[in-house]
Amino acid sequence: MIRIAAVGDLHYGAGSTEILRPSLQHLHDRADLLLLAGDLTRCGGPEEVTILADELRGLPIPVVAVLGNHDYHADREDEVRRVLEDARVRVLEGEATTVDIDGVRVGIAGTKGFGGGFRGAHGSDFGEPEMKAFVGHTKTLSDRLDKALTGLDADLRIALLHYSPIEATLEGERLEIYPFLGSYLLAEAVDNAGADLVLHGHAHHGAEKGRTPAGIPVRNVAQPVIRHAYNIYTLDAGRQVLPAAAGGIR
């Protein structure tokens, strides 16, 4: 049994010291891995993420993260990434990593992802260059997610995102902003490649639980949604979810 702790949207900034630290003290007794689903900072400042990195440094379990839109705001995402990596946090963007937990290979493929909307109402890369860039960014990151997941050689596979792949975990948000909260292209990538769990953040007023069209569990771990320092999900490597093309869940 693999125990995954996950949270997103911590939004560290001035005054955030000690928010997470008390809850991290016993984390290694309760979880094998900590996954961070983006928006780790308020404005994307390296000095903001340093506060979080100092709380994570020395944790005795692996920590894997993706960045979120806030982490890009200062155009210093490379520095944000370096600060995290200096604290031994593995940061993924269109990449994957594998962690060995008691002989079980847990693969994590991660991307920030982006918006666009959902089936029947997705934006198209058509018209103005700004619109092409917007939807093109989502397509690029979704393609990279598909490849990163597909390339994983692991017993369990997790997709770690910031933006949402499905509408169900956005319930509670205003419909007008759905296109800025996620894209079905992310779900399509996950369903094509196959995964056992999808984690995302970004939708602070959304719902925690949903599934992709192929039935893969999706959890919105935005901190205002889970209302805890993190949530813990357990996975049994003996019960894997296959891509829909291979027969769906077994």
Partner 1 sequence: MSEPRADYLPEAIREKLIHDPRVAEQDLRVDVQAHRVMLGGNVASPQLKQQITEVAQELLPGYEVVNETTVVSAAEPDSEEPVL
Q: Which residues bind partner 1 (CB under 8 A)?
A: 3, 10-11, 13-16, 19-20, 23, 26, 30, 42-43, 45, 70, 73, 156, 196-197, 204-205, 217, 219, 223-224, 226-236, 239-241
Pick between residue 24 and residue 64 the one whose CB is nearest to partner 1: 24
β 209-211/217-220 pair status = antiparallel
Q: Min. distance of Cβ 165 from partner 1 in angstroms?
A: 15
DSSP 174: -
Query: How many of the other CB atoms lie within 10 Å of CB of 60?
Result: 7
Distances (CA, A) of 202 to 67, 69, 192: 11, 8, 23
- Amino acid identity of residue 198, one-letter, is V
CB-nearer residue toward partner 1: 166 or 197? 197
What element of type H or E holds 82?
A: helix 77-86
The answer to whether 140 and 185 are in contact (CB under 8 A) is: no
CB of 236 to partner 1, least distance (A): 6
Q: How far is the CB of 62 from partner 1 (least distance, A)?
A: 18
CA 110, CA 119: separation in Å to the nearest integer? Answer: 22
Of the pair 14, 131, the CB lying nearest partner 1 is at 14
Q: Smallest distance from the beta carbon of 119 to partner 1, in angstroms?
A: 24
Q: Which residue reads 């946090």 in tokens? A: 89
| CB nearer to partner 1: pick between 83 and 197 | 197
* Least Å from the CB of residue 143 to partner 1: 26
Phi, psi angles (nearest 5°) of residue 104? -95, 125
Q: Which is nearer to partner 1, 65 or 235 (CB)?
A: 235
Q: Are 64 and 101 in contact (CB under 8 A)?
A: no
Q: What's the min distance (Å) between Cβ of 32 and partner 1?
A: 11
Contact at 8 Å (CB) between 190 and 216?
Answer: yes
Residue matched to tokens 């779900």: 187
Closer CB to partner 1, 140 or 240, in the complex:
240
Which residue, 42 or 144, is less far from partner 1 as judged by CB? 42
Residue 70's identity, in one-letter code, is: H
Give Dmax (Cα) for the chain.
Answer: 53
- Closest distance of CB 114 from partner 1, Å: 15
Alpha-carbon 71 to chain mean position? 13
